[in-house]
Amino acid sequence: MNQVVLIGNGFDLAHGLKTSYSDFILWYFKEVATLFNQSGFYEDPLVSIHQIYQRRHFNEASFYKLSEVLKYLSNEEIDFRYISEFFRTIVSRNIKYNWVDIEYLYYQELLRHFKIIEKPGISETRIDDFKTTLKQINNCLDNLSKSLVNYLSTISVGSNIKLDTIQEHFTNIEKEQLKTKGSILLLNFNYTSVADLYFMHSSHKNVYKKIDIHGSISDKSNPIIFGYGDDMEPNFQKLVNFNDNEIMLHMKSINYFKTLNYNSLMSYLESDGFVVNIMGHSCGLSDRLLLNRIFEHTNCRKIKIFYHQIDIERNDYTNKTIEIFRHFKNIVIAQERIVSFPNSKPLVPIRIPVLEPLVDVN
C-alpha cells in the first residue's frame, strides 16, 4: 500500500511563509512603488505610473497593507493607471475580500467574455474584439507568473522552519508505509521546496518519491504551471471547440504535456493501492482535473484530511470535505473514501494554554 501526500499552499503558510496570492500582490506593488520612487516613472504590462508633481518619498517599511500602497500611488501627485483590466479586477477582489484565487478568477474572466460572443448572430468584429481581449488576459497571466517566480525566489526556506507536529504526521505515514512495504509520494502543488525538509534527512528517505506537479522555481527543466485545470466544468468543451489556440494556453491539461510529471503520477497511481493524505491543499476547482483522477482512481483506498485548525472552536474540515466532494462524479465512492472528522487530525494543532490555579493569598 502506497501513501500519497498532497502538499498545497496551506502547507507553506503553516510554516509562516508569506506565499499567498495576497502576499504576492502586496510585494508586487511595494516593488513597483519603490522603483517609481527612484525615477518618478514606472511601467510594465500591468500598470503605468507617472509623476505629476513633486512626489512624497515612499518608505516600503511603513506600508503593511495593499490598500495603503495603492492610496500612496493614487494621490493627486501621481498618475497611476492599470494597463491590464484583468489585473485591476484581481486587485479589486483582493482588497474587497482580503484574498484572491487568481487561477479561478482567470477562468471566470475567460467565460465572462466568451459567453458574449457565444450568442447567435454575433458579428465578426465582436469575435475579433474577444480574441484581442483574450490575448490581453493571457498576457496579464504571463506577467503575473514571471513576477510570482521572482517573489517566491526572495523567500528563504531553511531547516529552522520545520514543525514538530508536521514531522510527527510524516513519521506516522512512514510507519504505515513500513507495515505495507509500499512507498510515499510527495505530490507537491507548490512552487517551493518546503516539503523537502521532511524527507531529505529522514532515515527512510529511500521510500520517498517526489513530483513537483506544477513546476519549481529552482528547476528550469520543470517550468511552473499557472492557470486553470477543470475539464469537468460544463463550459470547458465549448472553449476547446473555439477555433483559437490562445484560449487554451493556460489550461493545466495542456501544460501538463510540457514535462513527464503527469505521466509519472499516473504510473504511480496504477502501481498499487494508495491512501491520500491532504496537507494544506484547498482542493479547489482549479485543480479538479488532477484531483478527480486521484480521488476516483480504482486504487485509491482512503482520503485523509489534515485540516486547518483556525482557533480552538473552528476548523476547515467541513469546507474541505465539500471541496473534495466536488471532484467526485460518484458520491457513494466519496462517502466510502473520505475519513471522518473523529479520525482526522489538524495539520498544526492549536495549543490550548494551561491556566495556573488561583492561589488564595488569605
- CATH code, 208: 3.40.50
pLDDT of 243 > 60? The answer is yes
HEC string of the chain equals CEEEEEECHHHHHHCCCCCCHHHHHHHHHHHHHHHHHHHCEEECCCEEEEECCCCCCCCHHHCCCHHHHHHHHCCCCEEEEECCHHHHHHHHHHHHHCCCCHHHHHHHHHHHHHHHHCCCCCCHHHHHHHHHHHHHHHHHHHHHHHHHHHHHCCCCCCHHHCCHHHHHHHHHHHHHHHHHCCCEEEEECCCCCHHHHHCCCCCCHHHEEEEECCCCCCCCCCCCCCCECCCCCCCHHHHHHCCCHHHHCCEHHHHHHHCCHHHHHHHHHHHCCEEEEEECCCCCHHHHHHHHHHHCCCCEEEEEEEECECCCCCECHHHHHHHHHCCCCCHHHHHHHECCHHHCEECCCCCCCCCCCCCCCC
Section 321-328 average pLDDT:
96
Residues 127 and 196 both lie in one domain: no
Residues 272 and 126 both lie in one domain: no
Largest CA distance in the chain: 90
Q: Provide the pLDDT for residue 58.
A: 66
Section 175-197 average pLDDT:
93
In a domain, 211, yes or no: yes
Residues 336 and 302 both lie in one domain: yes
Q: How sure is the predictor about 357, in pLDDT bands with cuts at 50, 70 and 90?
A: low
Q: What is the pLDDT of residues 74-114, one digit of tens each?
A: 888 889 999 999 999 999 999 887 777 999 999 999 999 99
Of 127, 152, 177, which residue constitutes the final position of a domain?
152
In a domain, 127, yes or no: yes
Query: Which residues is 211 bridged to in the sheet?
Result: 187
Please answer whether residues 299 and 274 qualify as being in contact, where contact means their C-beta atoms are separated by less than 8 angstroms: yes
Distance, CA of 111 to CA of 134 (rounded, Å): 10
pLDDT of 192 > 60? The answer is yes
Residues 195 and 92 both lie in one domain: no
pLDDT of 355 > 60? The answer is no
pLDDT of 164 > 80? The answer is yes
pLDDT of 168 > 80? The answer is yes
pLDDT of 361 > 70? The answer is no
Q: What is the pLDDT of residues 202-219, one digit of tens each?
A: 888 899 999 999 999 989
Q: Grid coordinates standing for 332? A: 457513494
| CA proximity to 171, closest of 145, 204, 134, 138 | 204
Structural domain boundaries enclosing 306: 2-18+155-223+259-346
* pTM greater than 0.95: no
| Total count of domains within the chain | 2
On average, the pLDDT of the chain sits at 92
Share of the chain above pLDDT 70, in %: 94
Residues 168 and 267 both lie in one domain: yes
Q: Provide the pLDDT for residue 360.
A: 59
Q: Grid coordinates standing for 158? A: 531553511
Residues 25 and 88 both lie in one domain: yes
